[in-house]
Amino acid sequence: MTTAEKEVKNTAKVDREMVERAGINADKLLEPLIKNAAELTTYYLLYDLRSNPILHETERCAL
C-alpha cells in the first residue's frame, strides 16, 4: 500500500468516527449516497459546468 493510499484510508476512518460521534449511523447514511451516486455525480457536474462558463476543450468533449 502506498503512502497516499494509507492517508486516504486513515482520513476515511477519521471521517467515519466524526460522523458516528455526532450520533449519525454511518452505514444508514452511506446506503442512499451509494445508491444514488450516479445521480449525485451528474448533478455535481451540471452545477460545476454552470458555475464555470469557461471550459477546456477536453471538458467540452467529455459531455
Q: Residue range 29-36: average pLDDT?
A: 90
Please give the pLDDT value at position 57.
Answer: 57
pLDDT digits (tens, 9 = 90+) for 51-63: 666 655 555 555 5
Please give the pLDDT value at position 52.
Answer: 63
d(CA 55, CA 63): 11
pTM, whole model, 2 decimals? 0.51
pLDDT digits (tens, 9 = 90+) for 34-51: 888 888 888 877 777 666
d(CA 45, CA 34): 17
Domain extents in the chain:
25-63
